[in-house]
Structure 1
Amino acid sequence: MIDMLKGYPVITEIPVAWGEMDALNHVNNVVYFRYMETARIDYFNKVQLMEDMKLTGVGPVLGETTCRYKLPVTFPDTLYVGSRISEIKDDRFTMTYEIYSKKLNAITTVGSAKVVMFNFKNKKPDNLSQHLRDTIIDIEGDALKVVERV
């Protein structure tokens, strides 16, 4: 498992619940977005994004999410969701996810999210704080694409 999620600084373990399956006897497509949300919050906790938001008033909002289903997942199973930031800009970043099934010993799902930093006081997009930006760059290392404003 660890080898398949190599390069992901945050790995979230999620047990599949019986109630997440649909009439076709596999995990319903919408549930994967919840899995990725859980992994995203784990990543945010690692970089202390919510603490940063309390200080700056600037926090994350989703601009776009995607999901590609490769293999169906069924109960019982344990999933491991790898999450990372693959690209960072002044006011936004892109997260990528891979979901590994312990039962299938395979990556079952891949996804992404574009996260825009939003100033909740003036209701407009805003830049990441320098502290948050530096923390993400430190965690991601050379794998991160940093897009500088020109």
Structure 2
Amino acid sequence: KFKFPLTYPDTVLVGTRVGEIGEDRFVMHYRAVSKQHGKVAADGEGVIVAYDYGTQRKARLPDAVRAQIEALESRETERIDNPA
């Protein structure tokens, strides 16, 4: 979702987080922020579905992948909402 135009020579900060995790998918949330203006330029999200290319069907998200996502998402990270 577009919110604010970015122009050169601004520095753009981009952050991603995993939201909901399902049996065969997870949702990625994205945010782009103008460092120069301290404003959110865009928000977005995408659904990532596990896929088995051998059977050409969606697949269960492997436990190892789920564990890695949960470990990364539980860490404290710098927020980019207010970069100024």
TM-score for the superposition, normalised by structure 1: 0.47
* Amino acid paired to 2:37: L
Equivalent runs, 1:47-126 vs 2, <5 Å: 68-126=1-59
How far residue 102 of structure 1 moved from its aligned partner, in angstroms, is 1.2
**Runs of 4+ that moved beyond 3 A:** none
Question: Which secondary structure does the structure 2 equivalent of 1:82 belong to?
Answer: strand
For residue 129 of structure 1, the aligned residue among 47, 56, 62 is: 62
How far residue 105 of structure 1 moved from its aligned partner, in angstroms, is 1.4
TM-score for the superposition, normalised by structure 2: 0.82
More helix by percentage: 1
Cα distance between partner residues in 2 of 1:121 and 1:106 = 44
Cα distance between partner residues in 2 of 1:102 and 1:82 = 13
Identity level (%): 32
What runs of 5+ residues in structure 1 fail to find an aligned partner? Answer: 1-67, 142-150
Cα distance between partner residues in 2 of 1:75 and 1:120 = 41
What runs of 5+ residues in structure 2 fail to find an aligned partner? Answer: 75-84
Cα distance between partner residues in 1 of 2:12 and 2:60 = 33
How far residue 106 of structure 1 moved from its aligned partner, in angstroms, is 1.3
How far residue 77 of structure 1 moved from its aligned partner, in angstroms, is 1.5
- Count of aligned positions: 74
How far residue 135 of structure 1 moved from its aligned partner, in angstroms, is 1.1
* Alignment RMSD: 1.0
How far residue 78 of structure 1 moved from its aligned partner, in angstroms, is 1.4
Cα distance between partner residues in 1 of 2:15 and 2:71 = 17
Per-residue CA deviation, residues 7-34 of structure 1 (Å, 9 max, x unaligned), is: xxxxxxxxxxxxxxxxxxxxxxxxxxxx
